[in-house]
Chain A
């Protein structure tokens, strides 16, 4: 699914990533660990196609539309409601049976009752759930998740556990986290940066 060799990413004189290589097949689960500033986020942005490496090779075997990316920001418009945000992404990703799928995800992440509220009025935990709905909306083949548990309460974390376990057998994952114990059993490949 992803083949990376001697990846390097520089911002001006600053070298954020250096000599990173791995080969992830699908289904598979790459667990990326490392302290703050070790380049986890940068590596994930490379995998999602948001940035290109300065040097080295990076082959991602799926098209952009089949990748689900969850970053530090929820990537939703604060002035739009949860439903409108998902409608927008559903259209852009050309999700079949959009309405049903959005409804199902909102139900699953317990946001259905708050679907007509502005995303800006959401709590941190609800925002992260909405971001997860956005990430899973188009049923991606490759999931790139940066600190997916951040901001989630216990219920939300359990929901996410279930979602990951269920998809583990059919998707590829690249997950970066501070707290590796939670997803350790799922991992097929580990990469420690820094």
Chain B
């Protein structure tokens, strides 16, 4: 019984860690209204100059947002957009767009 408890506790901790880094898509959707103007409401960008985000890997989207914020990636429009976002906001946005249908992982196999 004690062993089972320890095992269960371990599972819960792992779940908590996973959830914490995964971002909350519902919260991301709420924050995504500003993004929609260029990237489309579901991340399928209606204008070819702007990238589609729908279905993109969440960790890539998060990396891009962080690079816009740090200035490593330099884009005046995006710099303005990310300025007010917290790390959690960025995780949530990434989770939301990653969940949408759009981009395809090319598989040459």
**Co-assembled chains A and B:** no
A-to-B contact residues, CB < 8 Å: none
